[in-house]
Amino acid sequence: MEICRHCGGDIKDYGGYKNKLNSRGLNLTDVWHDISPVRHSKYKTRESNELPLKLMERIISMASEEGDVVFDPFGGSGTTYIVSEILKRRWIGSEIGPIDSIIKRFEDIDFHRDQIKEIQAKKNILFTDEMKKIRRKNGHWLPETLETAKKNKSKKLTNK
């Protein structure tokens, strides 16, 4: 769910239907605000345009299954290849430029594997534990508070 990373507040208003939200997460929209360009030197392994691991993890996870073949004719920094390898896809690719950075990425595959694990740990949940703490601190709703409110409302109706 899209929430402010500072205060934990809702970015989108669900029109009073928050109690009907799936506590395991929301459907993915066609606009992804949670993907940012690779700018930090810790994650950027090449001078040219590099796709974020999160972007390629999402695309490859949605568009293929383990054992499928992923084809990328423009290898660039090798993001597609490294994510495909980690997600147990077979892959084919080419690159007309230097491939030293792609080779280096495969030498550092454990670093990328850890990043993918972190990305996947945050999938299919409405709020991470960190965001739950922020939301509690600032008095925002959580699935548990909605469930409690729903039960209280139900009790009031049956008592009438």
* DSSP for 72-123, written as a single string: ES--TTSHHHHHHHHTT-EEEE--SS--HHHHHHHHTHHHHHHHHHHHHHTT
Most confident of the following: 13-22, 64-73, 94-103: 64-73
Q: What local confidence, expressed as pLDDT, does residue 58 receive?
A: 92
- Can you give the pLDDT at residue 142? 84
Residue 76 above 70 pLDDT? yes
Residue 43 has pLDDT above 60, yes or no: no
Determine the average pLDDT of the residues in 45-54.
Answer: 70
pLDDT by residue (tens digit) across 13-31? 766 677 677 666 666 677 7
pLDDT for position 31: 75
Question: Cα separation of 3 and 34, whole Å?
Answer: 10
Task: Provide the pLDDT for residue 36.
Answer: 74
Choose the weakest-confidence range: 111-115, 146-150, 152-156: 152-156
pLDDT at 93 over 70: yes
How far is the CA of 112 from the CAs of 37, 85, 98, 117, 146, in angstroms?
A: 16, 10, 20, 9, 37
**Over 90: is that where the pLDDT of 91 sits?**
yes
- Give the type of residue at 115: Q
Give the per-residue pLDDT at 23: 64
Better pLDDT: 45 or 115 = 115
pLDDT in the model for residue 144: 80
Share of the chain above pLDDT 90, in %: 35
